[in-house]
């Protein structure tokens, strides 16, 4: 963020060596309040009531409304810029040059690499995985039930975590024996998506170590594909290195790490949040069992109701305005996806989960040139998981499963359920 307060080296998050009250001047909520993590939507409602644009005492511009968030996401006067919040995601290539993941790029570099990366999630590739995704969910559930015996099954550990790790690994051409390790590394990176000042030193270290390990692994895998292409996605991207200089070697490595880790985080939390919402609304689960053809639309409503990505940061690349409020070049804008997703100006009864709600105008995957490139695989995995899990007789084993204490992403640490015997 553009005016982040100074913090002593080696301290961050709850261990930051500053008065926690400063965070209340930077953000319009307390990022360490357990009540906020349990239900941020009550806080978002109050922020929306203050108007379409709010400035915090330290100058962060907060945008909570659906129309305004949509407008900024479509406006090319806003992008990532070159601030410290973005820079902590950069890495160094062997030649000493700095490389940033393409999702933190602005056009034209973003456009150049996104066009290549989109091949990973082309319709033909996703459709080819659809049957495989359903089979995987069946296998994962059967394995979890066998291991749990009469005890509860944790849907996060049993399904939400391994499903995207395996699907993304197979999509990228990663050997099956590496999928579990990739799951662990992706989880560490996903938990480090918040700005470092909101993380503990241990979380920052795990994030950075996981990135380095994945970069090194993908570097080795790319070398193998250069020597002997196999026709998988990595082979295709390696070929792009030599096509009009479209992709440098280290850009390839960073891009592969990003595809795995970002796609993992989004999918895990979409599945977890969606199933938790469904289990807390049994009448909606019953409706979906009676209308299994509506699973894709139901997943879209789950995405709206409790989006895995709660906020998106943007920087004004030039002087602009939002809802008539001037925004100077260089100012940081926080787009409140979670608040916009429950905007009563757009959604009737926005705090209710209504699986029959007409689809459209969903901001859960973003909008505009930075629309989430991994949305197709996240949707595929979530649809497969929801379809299979809804068919089972599930019951929450706890009223309040623990939440991960992050602000950019929203998800559960675990989701224990009791599974009734088949038949």
Listed residue (320, 325, 358, 333) closest to 64, CA to CA = 333
At residue 24, the pLDDT reads 67
- Is pLDDT of 3 > 60? no
* Average pLDDT rounded to a whole number, residues 38-42: 94
- Is pLDDT of 278 > 70? yes
Name the phi and psi angles at 314, rounded to 5: -140, 155
Q: How does residue 128 score in pLDDT terms, banded at 50, 70 and 90?
A: confident
Name the phi and psi angles at 264, rounded to 5: -65, -50
- Is pLDDT of 211 > 50? yes
- Is pLDDT of 320 > 70? yes
At residue 292, the pLDDT reads 96
Q: E strands of 218-356, at which residues?
A: 311-316, 320-322, 325-327, 332-336
- Count of Cβ atoms closer than 10 Å to residue 42 Cβ: 11
The answer to whether 78 and 320 are in contact (CB under 8 A) is yes
3-state secondary structure of 418: strand
Q: Are strands 61-63 and 332-336 parallel, antiparallel or unpaired?
A: parallel
* Average pLDDT rounded to a whole number, residues 381-409: 93
In angstroms, the CA 307 to CA 266 distance is: 9
- Is pLDDT of 14 > 80? no
- Is pLDDT of 9 > 60? no
- Mean pLDDT, the chain, as a whole number? 85
Counted residue by residue, the chain has a size of 423
Percentage of the chain modeled with pLDDT above 70: 90
Tell me the range of 14-18, 68-72, 94-98, 228-232 where mean pLDDT is highest: 68-72
CA angle 178/180/185 to nearest 5° reads: 90
The model's pTM: 0.89
- Is pLDDT of 122 > 90? no
At residue 276, the pLDDT reads 98
The model's pLDDT over 337-359, given as tens digits with 9 standing for 90+, comes to 999 999 999 999 999 999 999 87
At residue 242, the pLDDT reads 56
- Is pLDDT of 15 > 50? no
At residue 98, the pLDDT reads 73
């Amino acid at each position: 963020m553009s005016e982040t307060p100074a913090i002593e080296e080696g301290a961050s998050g709850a261990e930051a060596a500053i008065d926690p009250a400063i965070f209340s001047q930077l953000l319009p909520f307390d990022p360490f309040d357990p009540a906020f993590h349990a239900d941020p939507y009550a806080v978002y409602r109050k922020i929306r009531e203050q108007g379409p644009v709010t400035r915090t005492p330290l100058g962060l511009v907060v945008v909570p409304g659906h129309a305004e968030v949509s407008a900024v996401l479509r406006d090319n006067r806003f992008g990532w810029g070159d601030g410290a919040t973005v820079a902590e995601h950069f890495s160094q290539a062997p030649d000493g040059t700095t490389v940033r993941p393409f999702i933190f790029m602005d056009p034209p570099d973003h456009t150049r690499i996104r066009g290549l990366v989109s091949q990973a999630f082309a319709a033909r590739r996703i459709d080819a995985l659809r049957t495989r995704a359903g089979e995987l969910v069946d296998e994962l559930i059967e394995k979890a039930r066998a291991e749990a015996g009469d005890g509860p099954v944790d849907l996060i550990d049993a399904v939400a975590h391994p499903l995207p790790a395996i699907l993304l690994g197979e999509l990228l051409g990663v050997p099956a024996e590496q999928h579990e390790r990739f799951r662990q590394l992706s989880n560490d990176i996903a938990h480090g998506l918040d700005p470092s000042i909101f993380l503990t030193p241990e979380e920052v270290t795990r994030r950075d170590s996981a990135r380095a390990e994945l970069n090194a692994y993908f570097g080795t895998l790319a070398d193998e594909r250069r020597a002997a292409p196999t026709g998988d996605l990595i082979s295709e991207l390696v070929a792009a290195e030599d096509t009009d200089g479209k992709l440098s070697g280290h850009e390839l490595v960073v891009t592969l790490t990003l595809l795995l880790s970002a796609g993992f985080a989004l999918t895990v939390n979409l599945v977890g949040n969606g199933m938790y919402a469904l289990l807390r609304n049994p009448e909606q689960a019953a409706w979906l069992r009676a209308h299994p053809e509506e699973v894709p639309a139901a997943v879209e409503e789950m995405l709206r109701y409790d989006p895995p990505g709660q906020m998106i940061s943007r920087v004004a690349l030039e002087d602009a305005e939002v809802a008539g409020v001037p925004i100077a070049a260089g100012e940081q804008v926080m787009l409140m996806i979670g608040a916009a997703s429950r905007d009563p100006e757009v959604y009737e009864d926005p705090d209710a989960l209504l699986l029959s709600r007409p689809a459209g105008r969903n901001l859960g995957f973003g909008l505009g040139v930075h629309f989430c490139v991994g949305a197709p695989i996240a949707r595929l995995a979530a649809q497969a998981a929801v379809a299979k899990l809804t068919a089972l007789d599930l019951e929450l084993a706890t009223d309040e499963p623990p939440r991960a204490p992050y602000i950019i992403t929203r998800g559960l640490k675990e989701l224990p359920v009791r599974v009734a015997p088949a038949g």
